[in-house]
Structures are given as C-alpha cells and as structure tokens.
Amino acid sequence: MNKAIVRTFMALAVLFAALIVNVVYIQVIRAGALKDKPQNRARILQEARVERGRILAFDGSVIAGSRKADGYWQRTYPQGRFAPQTVGYSSLRYGRSGLEASMDDYLTGQAADLGLRSWLDRLLDRDPEGADVRLTLVPAVQKAARQALGSQTGAIVALDPVTGAVMAVASTPDYDPAQLVDRFAQLSKRKSAPLLDRALQGLYPPGSSFKVLTAGAALQTGVATPETVFEDTGTYRVSGGKVTNYGDEVFGANTLTEALTYSINTTFGKIGNELRGKRLIAHMERFGFWDRPPLELPASMVRISGRYDDDALLPPGAPMDPLAVAWAAVGQEQVLATPLQMALVAAAVANGGRVMSPYLVDRVLTAQGGEVRVTKPVVWKEALDARYAVQLNEMMQQVVDVGTGTAAALSGIDVAGKTGTAERGDANQAWFIGFAPAQAPRVAVAVTIEDTPGTGGAVAAPLAAAVMRAALDEERLP
C-alpha cells in the first residue's frame, strides 16, 4: 500500500479516536459537572416542564412542593423559612443550590438507581417521575432553633450523636424561599449575607468550647486526669507573650475538671504546651478537623474546620510557636470551626468517643412510595477511647451543674456542655456545645452567636436548652 495513503489513514484514525474520546469525556465523565453548572439553563428549562419530587421533613410534611404555572413547574414552600439555605433553591434564573442541587438526579427522576420505571422513561422519551427526598430535619426542633435565634446573627445545629442524623440546621439572617427570585440580587448583596449557611459554611473562633477537645486530648494522651492539679496566677507567660483568663480572673489551685467547669484559660494554655502542637493538631484531626464532614450537599456548602491564615486553610503541619499552641488550646489563635464541626465535637463525647457521619437525607422514595435509598449510620472518626469519653462527659456535666453553663440546664434531665466566648475585636463570638440526657444522649447541639457583648453562658446556653428540650419532647427522632 502507498506510504502516503497509510500515513493519511493513520492520521484520520488518530483524529477519529480523539473525537470518540472527547465525546465520551463530555457526555459521560464530565456530564455531571456540566449539567450542574448554573449557566446550563437549557437543562433547567427542560426539567422545569416536569414535576419535581418533593423535599419532605422527617415527619413526612412538605418542605418544598411544586405547582404548575405558565407551562412550568415552580417550587412552593408550605413551611416558609424552613432551613432555606440548606434545602436550597431551584430556579430557572439562578440555577440550584443546597439539597436541590445535590439531590437533583433523584428529584428529577434521572438517578440510575430509581429502577425500571426510570430506565423506561428515558428509553421511551417519556417525562420522568421525580422521587421524593425525606430529610432528617424534625420540624419541631428546626422551628425551635429558628425561633431561639430570633433576630440575632448566628447558627444552631442539632443532631443525634448516636446516628449522626441532623435534626436542625438554622442560620440567621435567612430569607423567604418563595420570594427568592424577586429578591435574589438584593439578598446576594447584603452585608448580613442571608444566603450564607452559617451552620455549615460559617467559620468562627470556637473559644472555650474548644476546650472539650483539648481536655479530651489531655485525657487520651495521659497528660492529665480529671483530678490533675494546676496552679493559676491569672497569667501564663510563654514564648514572649501571655495567656490570661476571661475578665482577668485568678483561680489559684484547680483540677482539670475545675478548669473545664470554670473555663480557666491559663490551665488549658499549659496543657496545650504539654501536649505540644503536633499532638494537639493530631487530636483535632481525630475529631474531624481538616476533613470535610460528609453531608449530602455540594462541596462548597460544607466548610472544613482547622487553622486558617486569612481565608486559606493551613496544612496540619504548619509551624506553631509555644504561644500559638497555648492560645490554640484555648480555642483562639488561628483555629476556626463551623457550628456543625463543634456539634460533632460534643457528639463524639456523647457517643463514647466515636464521631458518626452526619447526614441530612433519611431516605429517597419513588413516586409510588417505594424506598430507593435509606441512610444507615456510619462511624466517621474515632476521636477518643470510650473510658476517656465517659470521664469527659462527667466533667461537662459539671459545667452545666455549677459552672459557666448553668443556663443550659433542663429540669429533671442531666445536661453536659461547654460554653465559649471568643473575642473578636470589640465584640464576642458566643458559643455553647452540649448534649442531653447526659447518661443516654439523644441530642447534641452547637449554638453560636456573632458580634454580641454577652458571653456564651449568658447568650448561647439558653438557646441550646430550648433546642434540646424541643428534641427531647419528640417521641420519634431520626
């Protein structure tokens, strides 16, 4: 055969193969990413002609339904401002966010595991039937969290420490999802950021609520026991700087239990340097820091907790001098955490040292009511040995019984918790994390309030009590 013909044939074969590879890449490998782009309005327009599956609360009540207008299906919201940032929106103009985006294949009937009906719909070019997505959010708990926040800027997360099921995720300020399309431009420009899900995306210095983690690391490594005695003079000088107590208090001799109960900064600064930075960071990782909690949401909607330089997450091995270690152990320095992460810290203690994978989707149901997917509890992290979790549980009960967290107490129920008050300029970041009942936990919670003159004990703890009470009043939880 003529060499020129052979070369031409080979060149065409290579080009044809490249074309096939490119088509496969675009239509198969990149299909998911391309269809989810906000710019892909053609797909959204096409899907809007088909009734979307419902998003349901744990009790089966409708959070997001559908109605038809002008030939297109539009979302309705029977429960109003029900976790709008987390549930998300599905809009012809603005695309999708939250669970509306991450569960889109199910809601539009496109998911491969929806069974024979879904395959036949596609084969016969019929309009698919969207599946319903039932969440773990419990209306009474969600509404209690939203009501507790009121007009304050902050967030609350409540979850089952034994399963990881998220029962409430409230972030304020929020917005009315029924008015999103008309007010999107205004909402997106507000300094108060109502579109931001502070419960999952907000990164804050955890302050003294972080001392639960530091105390757990001290117990786990043998650096201290609940009865180990420390001496407080009001100031811990280290590496050319100092750690002081809130309000410049002086406590004198104190045990580790008392240091947690009364939130003694100097003791925890000393513990941090006895642990040293490497071990402190290692225990942060054991609780879930530096890892994205595996919620069923777009990756950008769940921030990673850790040490930050401006908006950049520092690697776990980033250098720390002894002063930095001391303040990190107190929950300040460059340590930033989401409310979800701090709820998981409390949940780890409640669950015998194990951190369960948090989840929002309880199950997916076909239009005929069949179960397509049911979430099963899975261990995410092993934070502490069980015996140290028990010791820490007892120490946290002291915080609520006689310490800084008495405002979180519930009549007739043992509550374990920890307050936090991180200083941010002229205002505070107030925290409370905890769980109840302490001996058989059913709910773990994290509350944080931005830019407040008050402390965690005064501002956040009462809100936590209200949310825990709402959860414990429910006969059935996820």
pLDDT digits (tens, 9 = 90+) for 288-339: 999 999 999 999 999 999 999 999 999 999 999 999 999 999 999 999 999 9
pLDDT over 70 (residue 7): no
pLDDT digits (tens, 9 = 90+) for 368-408: 888 999 999 999 999 999 999 999 999 999 999 999 999 99
CATH value at residue 442: 3.40.710.10
How far apart, in whole angstroms, are the C-alpha atoms of residue 434 and residue 426?
27
pLDDT over 60 (residue 117): no
Query: pLDDT grade, residue 114 (50/70/90)?
Result: confident
The one-letter code for the residue type at 174 is D
pLDDT > 90 in the chain, percent:
79
Q: Give catalytic residue positions.
A: 208
pLDDT digits (tens, 9 = 90+) for 76-111: 999 999 999 999 999 888 989 999 999 999 999 888
Residue 357: both structure tokens together: 């994978």
pLDDT digits (tens, 9 = 90+) for 175-212: 999 999 899 999 999 999 999 999 999 999 999 999 99
- Residue 302 within a domain: yes
- Residue 54 within a domain: no
- Residue 133 within a domain: no
- Residue 409 within a domain: yes
Residue 143 — left, alpha, or beta (φ > 0 → left; ψ -120 to 50 → alpha)?
A: alpha
DSSP assignment letter at 141? H
- Residue 197 within a domain: yes
Burial 56-79 (b: 16+ CB within 10 A, else e): bbbeeebbbbbeeeeeebbbebeb
- Residue 122 within a domain: no
pLDDT over 60 (residue 34): no
pLDDT > 70 in the chain, percent:
87
Does the pTM exceed 0.85?
yes
- Residue 238 within a domain: yes
How far apart, in whole angstroms, are the C-alpha atoms of residue 335 and residue 328?
6
How far apart, in whole angstroms, are the C-alpha atoms of residue 478 and residue 466?
19
The range of the structural domain enclosing residue 417 comes to 140-472
- Residue 65 within a domain: no
Residue 31: its pLDDT value, please? Answer: 47
Q: Name the phi and psi angles at 444, rounded to 5.
A: -120, 145
Number of domains in the chain: 1
User: Residues for the chain: how many in total?
Assistant: 478
Residue 307: its pLDDT value, please? Answer: 98
